[in-house]
Amino acid sequence: MPLWLIDLNQMDEPRDEGHTSVHATHSVVGSELTFGSVTDKISAIVLKRKTPLGWFIGFAISFALFQLMLLTITNLLFKGIGLWGVNIPVGWGLDILNFVWWIGIGHAGTLISAILLLLRQKWRTSINRFAEAMTLFAVAQAGVFPLMHLGRPWLGYWLFPYPNTMGVWPQFRSPLMWDVFAVSTYATVSALFWFVGLIPDFATLRDRANSKPFRLVYGMLAMGWRGSARHWHRYETAYLLLAGLATPLVLSVHTIVSFDFAVGIIPGWHATIFPPYFVAGAIYAGFAMVLLLTIPLRKVYGLESFITMRHMHNMAKVMLATGLIVVYGYTIEAFFGWYSGNQYERFMIWNRMHGPYAPYYWALILCNGVTPQLLWFKKIRSKLLVLWLISLVVSIGMWLERFVIVVTSLHRDFLPSSWGFYSPTQWDWAMFVGTIGFFFALLFLFIRFLPMISIFEMRTILPEAEVAGE
């Protein structure tokens, strides 16, 4: 077990009063909660409470941006991917780096829902549902980019091994094929995991809903769930097994994404450090996104007794730990460049630091390497606005990281006569902003129509859930 998880594990143990203020005052759940109040409070957000005005404004803005994405795609299909700034030598631009960025963000959701479940981290309970939704929606955004980058997206099904009149099969020795399988498996398993987690909560909503259409829809989704002890037993088994399956899966997905780079011979890509470095970066970016979203959300919906300061501290610590791994990755990249003794590798790292894209590199070091060091301090972690800003900086930093990896390696490779320069066009940016809009539009719909905190799992961590005797 990694060291930082052991540390979090110990935090679940009760501490003496006054030993550390953080743990004494910040429990996993508010002490006033009961089975009834947990159920009512969370289901009320969906069923009873008036939708806040901010919801409509937020949804309208993100839905408008989603239209920008559709517009870009239409234009792209019409004119071809020359619309984007990609060309030879930089054939992978914003599209591929956005793919990597989005799919990385998704990884925190699976980490929270699966890995922390296996490690019996009780604090995961109030954020896992939300984080899983984030995973699903982020993966949906990620999928759009490589599909559109195909050039002829309407032939995207050629990537799957189906019997065809041409008589050929996909090239299974290519990491790009592995990627197709990894990402589609990841999306499917994440959706299954999310849906299974929702079944008992659908039943809760079915039994609380006042209006017939809601009762009908939630009733159909609950599939007749009635909380039978036999059902719960198999349910728990299935849930644990799914968590066990999702754990290696999530690690494999970003490993395979990193193979897209590492299997190539381009200087700066052909490195064995890539898989762990990518996985850590993914979790880093993902936790930044979870914080970025939960900090305003808990304020708006008054969920402070569910998502406590304990969660904020723990997530900040995970971010710090993975951030340090990522910084280690940057250091090793620079070290490899020098130690390899290979002139192309040396030039690559020199070019990153001093070439035309040097500002991106140094901004990346500032965002991902320097800023998160503030998280060492408890005082800073306790200030939610600062924590939110740090998360924003990290999200930008992770985007810059992928820019540096994708673009600086490609634009100057082995032969100076084939060097080039890449700058994204307005349509590149339109597509990126559009997917952000799509992501938020989906999230807004999610918090309006589904319980954003797992109700049944919240019940299990209440003190009254303890069975007395024996």
Partner 1 sequence: MKSKPRLYGVMAQFDSPSALVAAARETYTAGYRRINGYSPFPIEELSEAIGFTRTGLPLIVLAGGIIGALGGFFMQYWMEVINYPINVGGKPFNSWPAFIPITFECTVLCAAFAAVFGMLALNKLPQPYHPVFNAPNFALATRDSFFLVIESKDPKFDHDEVMKFLKSLEARDVCDVEL
Of 11, 28, 39, 136, the residue at the interface with partner 1 (CB under 8 A) is: 39
Of 21, 34, 331, 426, the residue at the interface with partner 1 (CB under 8 A) is: 34
Residue 157 binding partner 1, by CB under 8 A: no
Residue 230 binding partner 1, by CB under 8 A: yes
Of 140, 176, 217, 245, the residue at the interface with partner 1 (CB under 8 A) is: 245
Output the smallest distance, CB 56 to partner 1, in A. Answer: 30
Please, where are the H alpha helices in 305-364? 309-339, 343-354, 358-364
Binding mask 256-295 for partner 1 (x = CB under 8 A): x--x------------------------------------
- Interacting residues with partner 1 between 382 and 411 (CB under 8 A): none
* Residues 6+ away with beta carbon under 8 Å from 443: 62, 133, 134, 137, 293
Q: Of 110-118, 190-198, 282-290, 332-340, which segment contacts partner 1 by CB under 8 A?
A: 190-198
CA of 165: how far to CAs of 158, 162, 168, 169, 198, in Å?
A: 12, 10, 8, 11, 42
Residue 7 binding partner 1, by CB under 8 A: no
Output the smallest distance, CB 220 to partner 1, in A. Answer: 8
Residue 457 binding partner 1, by CB under 8 A: yes
Output the smallest distance, CB 279 to partner 1, in A. Answer: 15
Of 333, 326, 319, residue with least CA distance to 372? 319
Structural tokens at position 117 = 């479940």
Number of residues that bind partner 1 (CB under 8 A): 69
Q: Of 224-232, 294-302, 316-324, 361-369, which segment contacts partner 1 by CB under 8 A?
A: 224-232
Residue 223 binding partner 1, by CB under 8 A: yes
Ramachandran assignment for 24, one of left (phi > 0), alpha (psi -120 to 50 degrees), beta (any other): alpha
Structural tokens at position 289 = 């996104």
User: Which contacts (CB < 8 Å, 24+ apart) does range 373-382 have?
Assistant: 373/320, 375/316, 375/317, 375/319, 375/320, 375/323, 376/320, 378/22, 378/313, 381/312, 381/313, 381/316, 381/317, 382/309, 382/312, 382/313
DSSP string, 352-381: HHHSTTHHHHHHHIIIIIIGGGGGG-HHHH
Residue 164 binding partner 1, by CB under 8 A: no
Of 1, 226, 385, 417, the residue at the interface with partner 1 (CB under 8 A) is: 226
**Residue 393: DSSP 8-state:** H
φ/ψ of 227, rounded to 5, equals 75, 25
**Interface contacts to partner 1, rule CB under 8 A:** 34-36, 39-40, 161, 167-173, 175, 177-178, 181-182, 185, 188-189, 192-193, 195-196, 200, 203-204, 206-208, 219-220, 223-238, 241-242, 245-246, 248-249, 252, 256, 259, 456-457, 459-460, 464-470
